[in-house]
Amino acid sequence: MSNRLAIRSCAGWLLAPALFSMILTGCGGSPKPICAMTAFNVSPNTATISHAAVPPGNTQHFAAFETAATTGCAFPLSNLTTVTWTVSDPVNVSISNATADNGAATCHAATAGAVTVTGTAPAGNGANITNTASLTCN
């Protein structure tokens, strides 16, 4: 090897111009897909808890799991940690976005019906995707 920039790749040793081509096309010359999450589920989908329960009994933890990605891309089967949570009734229900208890919804009072819990996550391509669940506080 000379003192020129060379990188070991799936195609062997590449000099800088060939490396640029590989980055754009991937191994085999085919365009690489832009991998992005296309769907996730919120679990549980519905929950009912008592606002009068002693903490943490008045709290329900929601989690998000990726269920689909761009064709040709793999996705992890684990809890998504980049979800931002909101609730439709912030007067009676709060939800945490803190790292330690992300997705923990706490009932502070009874709700008139089901409250919508919305999770928003970055798809990985500059867009966001959302999904919802419901929480009733008795």
Q: What are the extents of the domains in the chain?
A: 1-32, 37-137
Question: Band of the pLDDT at 28, cuts 50, 70, 90?
Answer: low
Instruction: Taking the CA atoms of 81, 62, 126 and 67 in sequence, report the sign of the dihedral they define.
Output: positive
What does the pLDDT look like over 78-131, one tens digit per residue?
788 899 999 999 999 999 999 999 999 999 999 999 999 999 999 888 899 999
**95 to 45, 49, 131: CA distances (angstroms):** 15, 14, 15
CATH class assigned to 37-137: mainly beta
Task: Classify residue 6 by burial, with Cβ atoms within 10 Å: 0-12, 13-18, 19+.
Answer: middle
Average pLDDT over the chain, rounded to an integer? 82
